[in-house]
Amino acid sequence: MPLLEIDNLYTNIRLKKGEVKAVGGVSISVNAGETVGLVGESGCGKTMTGMSIMRLLPAAGYIASGKVLLDGRDLVALSDDEMRSVRGNDIGMIFQDPMTSLNPCLTIGSQIAEAVALHKRVNKAKAMERAIEVLNLVGMPKPQERINDYPHQLSGGLRQRVMIAMALSCEPKLLIADEPTTALDVTIQAQILELLDSLKEQLGMAMLLITHDMGVIAGRADRVVVMYAGKVVEQAPTEKIFASTNHPYTEALLASIPKMDGSVARLYSIPGIPPDLSNPPTGCRFAERCRLATDQCRTTEPALLSKEQDHSFACFHPVGIEAKHVKVAVKEEAAEIARIEHSERKPLMVLDHVSKEFEITKGAILQRKAGTLKAVSDLSLTIYDGETIGIVGESGCGKSTTGSMMVALEKPTGGKILFDGDDLFGHKPKELRSIRSNLQLMFQDPYASLDPRMRVGTIIREPLDINKIGTPQEREKKVISLLSEVGLSSRAVERYPHEFSGGQRQRIGLARALALNPKLIVADEPVSALDVSIRSQVLNLMKDLQRSHGLTYVVISHDLSVVRFLADRIGVMYLGKLVEIGTGYDIYENPAHPYTAALLSAVPEPEPEREKTKVRKVIKGELPSAINPPSGCRFRTRCERATDLCAQEEPPMASFGTLHQAACHFPLISKVEIRTGASAN
Amino acid sequence: MSKIDDLDEGLSGEGGDNSEIVGSTSGGEAYASGSQLKLIVQTFLENKLAIVGIALVVIATLFCFVGPLLYHTNQVTTSYNITQAPGHGHPLGTDQNGYDVLGRLMVGGQSSLEIGFSVAIIATVIGVLYGAIAGFIGGIVDTIMMRIVDTLLSIPTLLLLIYLAAVFRPTLKLLIVVISAVSWLSPARLVRGEALTLRVRDYVKAVRVMGGGSRRIVLRHIVPNAIGTIVVNATFQIADAILVMAVLSYLGLGLPPPAANWGSMLSDGVNYVYDGYWWLIYPAGLAIILTVVAFNLIGDAIRDSLEVRLQKR
Amino acid sequence: MIAFLVKRVGQSVIVLIGVSIIAFILEHLLPGGPAKAILGGRAFPAQIAAFNHANGLDKPLWQQYFIYVWHLLHGDLGRSYKLNQSVNSVLATDLPKSIILVGSALILSLIIAIPVGVFQAVRRNGIFDYAATSVSFLLYSMPSFWLGIILILGFAVNFHLFPAEAPQGQSISSIITNPRAMFLPVITLTLVSYASFTRYMRSSAIEALAQDWIRTAKAKGLSQRVILFKHMLRNALIPIATLVGLSLPSLITAGVVTESVFNFPGTGFRFINAASTEDYPLLLGIIILIGFLTVVGNLLADITYAVLDPRVRYR
Amino acid sequence: MVSKRKRISTIIASSAATALLLAACGSSGTSSSSSSSSSSSSSGGTKVAGGTVTFAEAPNATPNYIFPLTSGAYFSVANLSQFQFLMYRPLYFFGNGTNILINNTLSLANPPVYSNNNQTVTITLKDYKWSNGEQLSSRDVMFWMNMLKANKANWAAYVPGAFPDNVVSMTTPDSKTIVFNLDKSYNPTWFTYNELSQITPMPIAWDVTSSTSPTPQPTDANLPDTTTAGAQAVYKYLDGLSKDTSTYATNPLWQIVDGPYKLTSFTSAGQATFVPNPTYSGPVKSTISKFVELPFTTDTAEYNQLRSGSGIDFGYIPVTDIAQKGLVSSLGYNFNPWILYSFNYWVINFNNPTVGPLFKQLYIRQALQHLVDQQQWIQSFYKGYAIPTYSPVPVEPSSAFADATAKTNQFPYSVSQAISLLKSHGWTVNPNGTDTCTSPGTGANQCGAGVTQGQTLSFNLEYASGTQAVQQAMDAFKSAAAQAGITINVSSSTFNQVISNASPCTATQAACKWQMENWAGGWTYSPDYYPTGDEIFQTGAGANFGSYSDPTADNLITATYTASAAQSQSTLNAYQDYMAQNLPVMYQPNPDYELAEVKSTLQGVQYNAFGNLLPEYMYYTK
C-alpha cells in the first residue's frame, strides 16, 4: 500500500463569479521512501494539490470530492482537530520563499520547538533540545548559538534550512516540498537539494517534490507526475518520462527548454496560453495548444491510461506511439562558428577597468561614510558589433549593475565605458540622451516595465515622441510595424498592458526597445519571470530580431541554459569580478575557473542520466559580503583549490584559448600563451 | 525604515482580496476585456456599499440644490415663531430664528457641500503640485520641502484651525482657504510617496533609457499612476472638511449666522439639548453622518477597485 | 539601530525648530502683534510701547526669535495674561486630567478594537465583519460632539444612569474618585478612537494573515488560537503599537471636543476657552507643546517599531 | 458643554472692563440719601450661626488679580466686586440693597463734605482697623493716592485730565481726615459717585519694594510711596506678587485686610475660599463660617452642578435653560433675577466714510430704532429676563436718577413708522428690496447733508458671538430692516474682537471701516456709579466709540458734572431726555446679569446692583 494515495481529487476555488476548478480529478500515489516529482507550469494545480493534501487551502478553496489517504486514513474526512495533529507531525511541508515563510517576530528556535512541543507533547526545554538537534541535522552551523536568532538575521539558504528543520522536527512520514529552491541561487539550490536528498534517505520518508523545474525533477525524483490545467497528463518513472515521453504536452515542455550543451538552435514553443480553469474546455485541456489535436480531442476527454504498469498518460494521439516526435533545430558546432565570425567584427562597446561602488552612509546630518559596497570591481570587457554576450552569476555578483552602466543608467565610479569609441559619460546630458537611443534595456518583470496607465500604442510610441523622430503619422506607422515584428496584431495599439499575458508584454517591451533602432540591447533576466512554454517564444523572438536588426545583445541571467542558448560569448561574474569569459563551448565544456565549474555542476539539467551520474561539486558556504570582499581572489573562501597565494595576490586574467580567459591561480585547464598580449578580451 | 513613514497610507488600505487565489490559479494569464477604466468602474459598481454611497451623495445633492425649487421656504426673514415642534406647515419644525428647519437643511447643505468640494479641490491641487515638485526635483529640495510638511503636520490640524479661526474672522471663503491650508499636506505626502515608489519602477527606468527627462517621468508617468490615490484622498477630504466645519461651528468658530451649514445648524441645536427640541439636533446630525459616510464609502470603494486592477495585472 | 535613532532624533530636532518658527510667526501674525493681543484692543500706544520694551518686542525679529527659543529651551512656554499664570502652571494642573481621560479611553478602545479587528479579519466579509465595519464607519463619520450629546441625551437626560458632565474637581483625585461621572466622556472618546483603531487593526490583521509564515504555522499543525495569538497578533500589533505612539499628542487634541462637550477641565478644553477668550500666549503654548508631543510621539513610534520588530532591532 | 453659552457672563465681566476708560471730572458732592441696607428676603426660619456658602463664579471669570490698584487686563467684576472688595474695602461702598445709592453703612468713611464752591472735599474716616492691628488712617488713603499718581498709566480707570489729575493737592490734617483740593467746581454727586468711589485705602505694610524690605510703620517718614520712583517700585513689586496666583492665600501681605473676610485658599483654577476676618471692625459681621467661590468652565457646567441639587448654594440658571426653572425650584432653590445698573446698546460709527453721513441723520437713526422690537425680543429671546433700554439712564434697578422719559419707549417697534420717516426725507422705499435716496439735499424733506442721489441703505453689523439671544435678536433686526428696504449685513466675531473693532476713529483711518458693532454688553455704571454721559457720549470721550458729536449733548453732559448739588438731578434729566430722543447709539434690551438660584435655607442674600458680593449678610435658617 502506498504511503499517500490521492484518489480522484477535485479542488475548487470560489470566485466572485463562478468557480475555478483548480484540481480536476487528480490521482497520485507516493510510496514510502520514494520521491515523487510533481511538475507543471504555474496555474496547473500542482500547488493546490499539495495544499489539498495538507488541507491548507485558501479561504475560498475547498475539496469538492475525492480522497487523500495517508496510511489508509482519509485526510479529507478528518475533523479539523484531527487534521491538525497530522500537519507537521505526519506530513511536513516546505515552501518556496524562505524569506517570507518564517515569522519575523519569533526566534527560529521557538518556531521549530513549538511544533515539537505540540506534537510530541514535551516541555519547552526538551523541545528546544530537539530544535538544536534538527538544526544540526540540516547543517546549520553552530545551532546552539543560532537558536535565538530571528529569521532576518539569516541568509536565504540558512532560512530554508530552518524551514526544513521545522518540517522535519517531528520526523514526518511524508514531506511536501513546494518549489523548495526556486527563490534560491543555483549554488544554494544545489546545497538544499542535496540536503533534502540525504535527509530523505536518512529518515526514510517519502517526498512529494513540487516544482516547475524539469532539471530539479530529473536529478531528484524517482517518479514524475506531469500536470496541466488541473489534470495529470502523464506519469512515469523519471527516466521514462525523459526518454520515452508520450504526452504531447510533456514533450513540448521538454522541447522548449534550452539545453546546457548548446545543441539547440531554435526552441520548440507551445502556441497559445493555458485555458481558463473557471470555465475549462470540454475534451482534452491541452487540445487548443496541441500540434496533434483532432476533433476527438476537443470533444472527448482522454482518460489516464497506463502504457506500462508504471507509465500512464492521457492522450488519444501519444507521441512516440501514434505520432512522431517534434524535431528541434540543432546547432552546428556553434563554438567554432563564433570563433570564426568574431575576427570579422569590430568593437561596439568597451568597458575599460570599470568599477562601481555604492557608499553606505550612517548618521543623520554628518553622513559619515560607513563603508563602500563594491558592486563591480575593475571589470574590462569588449563587446563586438552583432554578437551576444551573456553574463552569468549568482545574485549580488554585480551583473545587473554592469548592465545598468552599459545603458548609462548608472555612472561608473572608476574606469571608462566607450561606445563606438566615444566615452559614454564624457558628454553633456543632452548629448548623452541622443547616444542613449542606441542603448536599450529589456526588463525582467514584464508587469512592471510597462506603464499600466498607457495604451500599448502610446508606450511604443513614447521613445519616438521623446526623441522627436518623424511626423505623428510616421510614428503611428512605425508602431504598427514594430508590433507586427514582435508578432502582435495592430489591434494591440488601443489596449492596455494588463490585457496581455506576460509573454506578450515582454514582446511589447521588445518592440519599445526596438523603436529607436538601437545598436545594443541589454536584456536583464529577459525570461526569468515567464513560464517555460512562454519563455521559448520570447527567446526565439530575440534571436530572430537580432538577425533582422543586426542587434548586439548583452544577456544578463542567472539561468545558465538561457545564456547558453542566446550567447556567443559568456562572462562569469563572482562578487563584482569577472572571473572567466569565453565562448559557450569554452565555458560550459571546458571551464578554467573553479567557480565556473562549480556553478555548472550545481545547475540541474533536465537529463536524468547526466544528473544521476554527475559528480557534484557543491560549493560550500554563502556568498561573502561585497562591502568587505575577501582579499586576493574573491572566490578563495569557498574554493577547494585555494592556497595562501590566493589570499595574498589577486589572480590576473590569463588566456586559455583565443577567446577564453579566466582569472585563477590554479585553473582547471592549462593556460595558453598568446603573443599579442592579454588585452584581446 | 520607510515602513513607519508609510504607516498611514499602508494601513488604511484594506489588503488585497483574493489576490493569492487569483494569482495562483490564473497564472497571470487572465485577460480582462475593455479599458482599465471600465474595469475599475465595473469593480466599483459591484461593491454594493459604493452604490449606497453614490446614492446618498446624489440624494443629498438633489435635496440641497433641487429641493429648494420644490419646497419653498422663507430663509431670509426671521419670525418669532421660534423653536416650534414639527407640524403646522413645518414638517421639521422651526429653529431658534423661526426658520423652517427642512428648508434650512437644504440651504445649509448647499454650503456644506460647497465647502467640502472646494476644500477637496484646492487642497488636492496644491498638494499634488507640491508633492510632485518635491518628487520631481528630489535631493535637498525634496528634503527641505518634506521637512516643512512634517513640521506642519506636527501642529494638529484642529488646533491650527481653531487658532486661525480665532485670529481671523471666519467667512465662507476664508474658512475654505484655512481648511484647505491645513488639508493639502496629506495629498502632498501621498503624491510624493507615490512618486518615490513609482520612480524605481521599471517603466520609469525605461523612460530614462529612452532619453526621457524627469519632467516627462513626473507628468506622464508618476502623476497619472498616482491619480487613484489622489482621487481616493480627495473623496475623504470632502468628508473630513464637512466634519471639520461641524466641529468648528460647535466650538463657536464656524460661520456666523445667518449663513447656515449643517455644522452650524447642529451646533446651534445642541444648545437646546435639555429642552427636548429634537428636530434641532437630529436632522442636521443625520445629514452630516449620511453624507460623510457616503463619501467614505465611495472613497473606500474606489480604493478597493483600484487595488483589484493591480491584482489583475 | 543606534545610527537609525540618531538620524531620527536629528530629523525630530529639525521639525521642532520648524514648529518653533511657525509658532513664532503665528504670534507675530496676530493683528497688532503680541502686545495688542495681550493688552487688549484698547491699549494706548504708550502702553503698547512700554509693554514691547519690557518684553523685548522692540528688538530685531531674529533676536526675538532666539530669546523665544531660549525660553522654550528652558521649558518656558510663555505666560497667559488672561489667566495671570504661566502657561506651564496652567498645563501642570490641566494636563494630568487630560492624560487620565484620554489615556483610559485609549486603553479601553484598544481593549475593544484589537479583538474586534482580529475577529473581523478572521471572519472576513462575514456578517460580523460587515456589522463591525458599518459601526466603525458610522462612528468615524459622526461629529464627536454630536456623539457625546446623544450619549448625554440617552444616558443622562432620559435615563439618569450617568451624570451629564465630567467630574468638575480641580485635583486629580477628585476626578479619579468619581468614576461614574467619567463614564460618558471616556465612552465618547473610546468610541471615537475605537472607530479608527479597529479599522487599522482589521487591515493590519488581514495583512498579517495573508503572510506566508501564517501558512507555515498552519502547516506545523498549530491550532487557530495559537496561530492568532502567538503568530499573527504579535506581528499585527506592531503597527498598532506605533499608532499608539503616534497618538501621544492626542492626549491634548483628542480631548478638545469631548472635553468641551462634558466640561471636563482638561487641556483640550482649556485650549478652546483660550481660543474664545483670545488668550493667544496660552494657545501658542499649547500648540508648541503638542508639536513637541507629536515629534516625541513619532520618535516613540519609531522606537516602538524598532523594539517590537526584530528586523529593525538587529540592524 | 456648549461653549457658546458661557459668553453671557463674559459680557458683564468685560463691560466692567470697558469701564477702564471712564473717568471724568466733576464737582461738589452731596451724599446721596441712604437708608441702611439689608434689603432682600427674610422668610421664616431660625437663624443659625456658621455654615459654608458656595457661590458659583461666572464661567471663565475667575479672580486672577488681588492688588486693588488694578490694571486694565484684570479690571473686572470678578476681581473687584467679588474678590478684592471682600478683603479690601473701598473708601465708599456703593449699592444699598438693590438701590443705586452710596452705602454709608459699609463705607469706610463718613459722607464727604464739599465746600469752597464744591472745590474742596473733606473726608473723615470711620474707626476701622487693619487685621494686623493698625488703625485705618488718612495715611492709608494717601498711600493709595500716591500710588495712583505715580502709576496712573497702569491703572485701568485712568483717563488723562481726570482722577487723580483733577486733584490739585491733598492734605491730611489728622489721622482721620483727608482734604482734597480740586482744580474746579464739580457736581458733588458726580465727584462722590465717580471719582471718590474708586479709592481703596491700602495698609502701610504694603509700602515695600521687595520681600526683604523692613516692615514699614505708619509713622515712618520717607516711605517709598512718597516719591514717584519709590511708588513705582512698590507697584512693580506688588503687581509682580499679583501675578503669582499660587501665593494669594499664603503671602502675609495679602492677609492684612480691613474687609470682613480673609482668603484661606486659592487654587490656580480660581477657587477662592474665605473665612471671616475676626478683627473686622465694620457694622455687619459674618454669620457664616466660610465663603467659597467655585469656578466653572461654562455655565452649563454650573447648571449641571446646580441640577445635581448639591454643591452650590448661590448659583444661577442659564437663560437658555430657563424653561426648567421649576425643576430647579423643586431641588430647593429660590429664583431671583439679579439686575445690574447698566444699559445696553450697540454703537454706530458716525465717522465711517460710507455710512457715517447716514448715521448723522437723526431721522435715519430714529427709523433704525423703530425697527428694534425690544418687547418682542425680551419675550422671545430673553424669556422675559431683560429690561428695555430707552435712554442711557437705566430704568431698573429703580433709582432716583431715571426720569419719566427714560422709562418710556420713544421709538416703539413699527416698520411703517420707519418707512414713513424715510419717505418723508427724500427716500424711495422698497420693502424687501433696496431703498434709494431720490431727493438729496439738506432741506427738511430731503435726505440730508452728505447723502448722495441714489445712495442705498446698507449697513454692516457685527456682534459678539456666543449668546444665542443676541444672535436671534440681530437676525430679527436684519429681518425687520429688510421689510423697510434696509439691508443689514450681519456677522459675528468674538467679544474681544468686537470691542477692539469698535473704537473711535477718523474717516480716513483704515480702522474706521466698521459701521455697527454690538458687543451685547452695553455699559455698566461701575465704579462710575453716576449715570452721566461724560465718558461715553461727550465729543472726544474715550469710550465714545462711535465718535458721536452733538453740541447740545456736550453742553448737557458738562452741566451734569459741574452743576451744583441742587441742580444735579435737573441737569441729569435734561441730559437723559435729550439722549432718549437723539439716539447716540442704538438701544437694545439689557439682559439680567444673572438668573440667581439660591438655596432656600440661605437668607440675607444681597443682589447688589453693582455686582458686589456681601456674604456677611448671609445666614442659614433651620
Between residues 15 and 44 of chain B, which touch chain C (CB distance below 8 Å)?
A: 15-16, 19-20
Give the torsion sign (CA, B167, B168, B171, B175). Answer: negative
Return the C-alpha torsion angle A201, A206, A212, A213, nearest 10. Answer: 20
Residues D239 and D199 in one domain: yes
Q: What is the pLDDT of residue B35?
A: 58
Which of B273-282, D204-213, D399-408: highest mean pLDDT?
Answer: D204-213
Looking at every residue in chain C, the average pLDDT score rounds to 81
**Mean pLDDT, range A521-533, rounded to an integer:** 84
**Contact state of C221 with A105 under an 8 Å Cβ cutoff:** no
Same domain for D294 and D437? Answer: no
In which element (H, E) is residue D325 found? Answer: helix D325-330
- A626-681 pLDDT, tens digit per residue, is 888 888 898 888 888 888 888 888 898 888 888 888 999 988 888 776 544 444 44
Contact across the interface for A363 and C7, Cβ inside 8 Å: yes
Among the partner-chain residues C223, C231, C309, the one whose CB lies closest to the CB of A84 is C223
Q: What is the CATH number of the domain that holds D585?
A: 3.10.105.10
Listed residue (D409, D344, D348, D412) closest to D382, CA to CA: D344
Radius of gyration of chain A (CA): 26
Which residues in C lie closer than 8 A to residue A56 (C-beta atoms)?
215, 218-219
Residue pairs between chains A and B whose CB atoms are closer than 8 Å: 119
Tell me the C-alpha distance between D314 and A407, whole Å.
87
Coil/strand/helix, residue A62: strand
| CB proximity D10 to B under 8 Å | no
CATH code: domain of residue D244? 3.40.190.10
Q: Give the best residue of A178, A362, A435, A499 to mutate against chain B (max B CB count within 10 A).
A: A499
Q: How far does the CA of residue C121 sit from the closest CA of chain A (Å)?
A: 12
Interval D581-594 mean pLDDT: 92
Same domain as D468, residue D615: no
Q: What is the pLDDT of residue C246?
A: 78
Q: Which residues of B touch D472 (CB under 8 A)?
A: 78, 82, 96-97
Chain B residue numbers touching D465 (CB-CB < 8 A): 252, 256
Task: Please name every residue paired with C228 in a beta bridge, in sequence order, or none if there are none.
Answer: none
Give the pLDDT of residue B4: 32
Interval B112-126: pLDDT, tens: 899 999 999 999 999
Among B residues 164-203, those touching chain C with beta carbons less than 8 Å apart:
165-167
Q: Print burial letters for C241-252: b (CB count within 10 Å at least 16), e (below 16).
A: bbbbbbbbbbbb
Q: With 90 as the cut, is the pLDDT of residue A613 above it?
A: no
DSSP letter at D128? -
**pLDDT value of position C142:** 86
- The closest CB to that of D499, out of C41, C163, C265, belongs to C41
Query: What residues contact D479, with CB distance under 8 A and at least 6 apart?
Result: B76, B77, B78, B79
Lowest mean pLDDT segment, chosen from A625-634, B234-243, C153-162: C153-162
Nearest to C212 among A59, A97, A150 (CB): A97
- D436: which residues sit within 8 A by CB, 6+ positions away? D427, D428, D430, D454, D455, D456
Chains that touch D (3 or more CB pairs under 8 A): B, C
Each residue's pLDDT tens digit, A358-411 = 877 654 444 456 678 888 888 998 898 888 999 998 888 888 889 989 988 888
Please, are residues B305 and B298 in contact by the beta-carbon 8 Å criterion?
no
The grid cell for A240 is 521514462
Q: What is each CA distance from D311 to B274, C259, D265, in whole angstroms?
A: 21, 21, 18
Q: What is the mean pLDDT of residues C16-21?
A: 85
Residue tagged 597565494 (cell numbers): A645
Asked if residue D486 and residue D583 are part of one domain, the reply reads yes
pLDDT at C302 over 70: yes
Looking at the complex, report in whole angstroms how far the Cα of residue D238 sits from the nearest Cα belonging to chain B.
33
Contacts of D99 (CB under 8 A, 6+ apart): D39, D397, D398, D399, D609
pLDDT tens string A551-578: 899 999 888 888 888 888 899 999 889 9
Which of D608, D585, D586, D588 has the alpha carbon at shortest distance from D596? D608
The yes-or-no verdict on residue D340 having pLDDT over 70 is yes
CB contact under 8 A, C290 and B155: yes
In angstroms, the separation between the Cα of residue A67 and the nearest Cα of chain C is: 19
How many interface pairs between A and C have CB atoms less than 8 angstroms apart? 93
- C-alpha B106/C-alpha B68 separation (Å) is 7
At residue C167, the pLDDT reads 74
Span of A502-506, C33-37, C87-91 with lowest mean pLDDT = C33-37
ipTM of the prediction greater than 0.90, yes or no: no
D215 and D355 inside one domain: no
Q: Which residue has the higher pLDDT, D622 or C198?
A: C198
pLDDT at position D577 is 92
More confident site: C178 or B186: B186
Quickly list H helices, D175-324: 188-190, 228-242, 299-307
Calpha distance D314→A118 (Å, rounded): 71
Residue D289's domain comprises 1-340+593-622
**Contact criterion met (CB < 8 Å) for C3 and A365:** no
pLDDT of residue B118: 93
Q: Per-residue pLDDT for D19 more than 80? A: no
**CB neighbour list of residue D355: distance below 8 Å, 6 or more residues apart:** D349, D458, D459, D515
D and A touching (3 or more beta-carbon pairs closer than 8 Å)? no
**Ranges of H-type helices in A87-155:** 108-120, 124-137, 143-146
CA-nearest residue of chain B to A273? B29
Model pLDDT, residue C285: 86
C83 touches chain D (CB under 8 A): yes
User: Where in D175-222 does DSSP place strands (E)?
Assistant: 177-182
Q: Are residues D510 and D543 both part of a single domain?
A: yes
What is the rounded CA–CA span in Å between residue A102 and residue A118? Answer: 18
- In this predicted structure, the answer to whether residue D220 has a pLDDT above a threshold of 60 is yes
Q: What's the distance, CA B300 to chain centroid?
A: 11
Q: Crossing angle of helices C179-209/C87-122, nearest 10°?
A: 50
Instruction: Spell B118-140 as b/e; 16+ CB within 10 A means b.
Output: bbbebbbebbbbbbbbbbbebee
pLDDT (0 to 100) of residue B97: 80
Residue D537 grid cell: 457720549
D550 and D620 in a single domain? The answer is no
Report percent pLDDT > 90 for chain A. Answer: 10
Residue range D27-71, pLDDT digits in tens: 333 333 333 333 444 455 788 888 999 999 887 778 888 999 887
Q: Which are the contacts of D33, defined by CB distance < 8 A and separation ≥ 6?
A: D101, D400
Q: What is the mean pLDDT of residues A237-251?
A: 88
pLDDT at D452 over 60: yes
**Minimal CA–CA distance to D135: which of D182, D71, D198, D204?**
D204
D60 and D133 housed in the same domain? yes
Which of D303, D378, D488, D492 should we substitute to test contact with B (largest number of B Cβ atoms within 10 Å)?
Answer: D492
Cell 502523464 -> residue = A234
Residue A113 has pLDDT above 70, yes or no: yes
Residue A334's pLDDT is what? 53
- Do residues D334 and D353 both lie within one domain? no
Write down the number of H helices and E strands in chain C: 17, 2
pLDDT, one tens digit per residue, over C98-139 is 888 888 998 999 999 999 998 888 887 788 888 888 888 888
Query: Using one digit for the tens of pLDDT, what is the confidence trace for C26-67?
Result: 777 766 666 766 666 556 666 677 777 777 777 788 888 888
Mutate to test the interface with B, among C136, C141, C282 (most CBs of B within 10 A): C141
Q: How do residues A166-199 score in pLDDT, each as one tens digit? A: 888 888 899 999 888 877 888 888 888 888 888 8
Chain A residues lying within 8 Å of C10, measured CB to CB: 364-365
pLDDT digits (tens, 9 = 90+) for B175-224: 888 888 888 888 888 888 888 777 777 888 888 888 877 778 877 888 88
> If you average pLDDT over every residue of chain D, what do you get?
85
pLDDT for D426 beyond 80: yes
How many folded domains does chain D comprise?
2
Res. B20: pLDDT tops 60? no
Under 8 Å between Cβ of B267 and B246: yes
Are D258 and D346 found together in one domain?
A: no
Same domain? D261 vs D316: yes
Mean pLDDT (chain A, rounded): 84
Given C3, C223, C309, which is nearest A105 (Cβ)? Answer: C309
Residues D64 and D11 placed together within one structural domain of the fold: yes
Q: Do A501 and B224 touch (CB under 8 A)?
A: no
